Structure 1
Amino acid sequence: MPARFKMSKKGVGELLKSRMIQADMLHRAEQIEAVAQAIAPVGGPGDPHRGRYKASFYVTTTARGGRRRDRATATVGNSAYYARWVEYGTERVPAHHVLLRAARAGGN
């Protein structure tokens, strides 16, 4: 006789919020953060903020993430006030796409 399986939506919901999934999301985010720190630009010798961007990465995690706040998530960010300009560039500075490249390379 073949095995039968009946999915429980409540059970899947509990799994998505579980400490196990939250720990996995944190682990993946920490891998992405490590790659981002490794490839982050630091600026030249005359840069008054040399190394600040590289040192400003952070990871947060929550069991109430996602659009509906129904799953564990982790976020990698950068607290340097100019981080968006490093990521996306300006009319004078090319985009570095540090977080994009880190997410593609890490987190597996």
Structure 2
Amino acid sequence: MMPAKFRMSKKGVGQLLRSPTIQGEMERRANVIESVAVSIAPVGEGAWDPHPGHYKGSFKVTSTARGGRRRDRATATVRNSAYYARWVEYGTEKVRAHHVLLRAAQAGGRG
């Protein structure tokens, strides 16, 4: 019996990486991550938080077929548009880091 032969086509791989199927899968995974992030996002209470729930409601998923460093593959991104999202994620000298997106990606990226 003859072994099967495979010849890779760089053009074909590029087309696959930009395909609607791959873009859809990237978007599906990003939506899972977004829903986990929303579920674990901290919500301030009391007078010290003038906008309770703003961070939790500011997550958004975007996707494109021209993403990546070389703009040659489908990507999806989960972002938070709250101006203080960086401080919630990484913390400050006075506030502990919550790592919401990190934990969401670890928990939900495979879902």
Would you call these one fold, judging by a TM-score over 0.5? yes
TM interval, short-chain normalised: over 0.9
Cα distance in structure 2, aligned partners of 1:82 and 1:15: 37
Gaps of 5+ in 2: none
2:106 aligns to what? 104
Cα distance in structure 1, aligned partners of 2:98 and 2:109: 19
What is the correspondence of 1:1-108 to structure 2 with a 5 Å cutoff? 1-46=2-47, 47-108=49-110
Q: CA RMSD in A?
A: 0.7
Cα distance in structure 1, aligned partners of 2:22 and 2:103: 24
TM-score (norm 1): 0.97
Return the letter of the residue paired with 1:83. Answer: A
> 1:24 deviation in Å?
0.1
Cα distance in structure 1, aligned partners of 2:87 and 2:16: 37
> 1:45 deviation in Å?
2.5
Tell me the number of residue pairs that the alignment of Structure 1 and Structure 2 aligns.
Answer: 108
Return the letter of the residue paired with 1:100. Answer: L
TM-score (norm 2): 0.95
